[in-house]
Copies of this chain bind each other. A is one copy, B any other.
Amino acid sequence: MSLSRESAPVTMEMVAKAAGVSMSTVSRVLTGTVAVSETKRVAIEKAIAELRFVPSPVARSLAKGRSMTIGIVTQAIDSPFYGLAMRGIEDELNPAGYMPLFVSGHWNVKTECQCIDALRARRVDGVIVLTGRLTDQALIECARFLPTVVTGRNLTAPGICAMNFDHFSGGMLATRFLLESGHRRIAFIAGDPDQPNSSERQRGYQAALEAAGIAFDPDLVMPGDFHEASGMLAVDRLVTAHIPFTAIFAANDQMAYGAALGLRRRGLRVPDDVSLVGFDDLPGSQYAAPPLTSVRQPAYELGQVAAVAMLQMLSGTIPTCDLPPLTLTTRESTRRLLG
């Protein structure tokens, strides 16, 4: 296994020698800043091709002070939701010559801070923070050094571009749909209260009830943490406490999956006995059994918009931080309640 690998990479100096020119000239055709005589250019390009020379971004970074790398603080590299956003970022950044550097904050303020430090140490040219629990202050501090875009919160500060979906409206959307389907006893499974938009969704739920003239019943609100198990537990509690309900609105799809399983365990069918609505519209929701009605958060587009905004900041133009409105994807987990 102790293999002697290929020697040092081809350098610009070798190219210059092969083409019979100076390194500066090579550098010029590489960067394309200044005109170079046709004859030398072809000679250099030939040498580059023959030697299979690739300029070192490391050296380039050191010389220019830019790394062509954007740091992305995601919460978990295996998150189904942020995975899509990462993909959107990737798809926008790569064509622009930038490379995303993904690090995971794990919904932990301290870890997220370390992520940002690590990214700054790596000399990234900008930072995109996908939600997380960082304080606004920490982000403002980050923006003092680097162009910063953050999703999942509203924040106006110099050097920061924040973008957020309207989770309140999303909460209303789902609840209103259930109300219009004839449901009156709608349980709500809340998300992790420590996460930014969790309570917004609940506020939307309550607002929709109020608008429909339905009294808010706190017994119908179950705590949750955005994971499947908490959705299942919520159903258990509801049933055990003999609290009547004909529909459930879970603050995210994962909890809805858990709730579906909980209902199944109790012999309750979806949607025949209970209608179920989630939030996020994860890719898997399309193939859940039954396919889940959910408030769609276009995560891929979120990533794209975030990346474009970063590119704009980098090029000195004013970033556009506008996100599309949330929509409801109706599938088979909900049904009209016949009066």
Contact = CB atoms under 8 A, between A and B. Distances in A.
B287 A318 contact: no
Interface in A272-315: 284, 286-291, 313
A87 interface: yes
Interface in A244-292: 254, 257-258, 260-261, 264, 284, 286-291
A59 interface: yes
Interface stretch (A2-10, A27-35, A176-184, A194-202): A2-10
B80 A87 contact: no
B264 A290 contact: yes
B1 A319 contact: yes
Oligomer: number of copies: 2
Interface stretch (A39-47, A120-128, A208-216): A120-128
Contacts of A287: 228, 232, 254, 257-258, 260-261
Nearest to A103: B99
17 contacts: A1-B318, A5-B159, A6-B144, A54-B120, A56-B62, A62-B62, A77-B77, A78-B84, A78-B86, A78-B87, A80-B83, A83-B83, A228-B286, A257-B287, A261-B291, A288-B288, A289-B289
Given A56-B121, A78-B84, A90-B104, 19 more contacts: A1-B158, A1-B313, A1-B319, A3-B143, A6-B144, A6-B145, A8-B65, A54-B117, A58-B58, A77-B83, A77-B87, A77-B102, A78-B86, A80-B83, A228-B286, A232-B287, A254-B287, A257-B284, A261-B291
